[in-house]
Amino acid sequence: MLIENFLWDLQWYLNTNISSEEEVFLGSLVHAVHAKTW
């Protein structure tokens, strides 16, 4: 799915540029988006 691919790319990019605290927050945010999508 195109949106999911975008989310994975976005998450990978953010993971290389942010702190672990922000990573945890964004990870939970991405999971929330996935839950709504599916």
pLDDT score for 1? 62
Q: How far apart are CA 26 and CA 34, in angstroms?
A: 12
Q: How far apart are CA 28 and CA 26, in angstroms?
A: 5
pLDDT score for 33? 84
Q: Domain locations in the chain?
A: 2-37
pLDDT of the chain along its 38 residues, tens only?
688 888 888 888 877 766 677 777 877 888 888 787 65
pLDDT score for 19? 64
Dihedral angle over CA of 22, 23, 28, 30, nearest 10: 110
pLDDT score for 9? 85
Q: Quick check: pTM over 0.75?
A: no
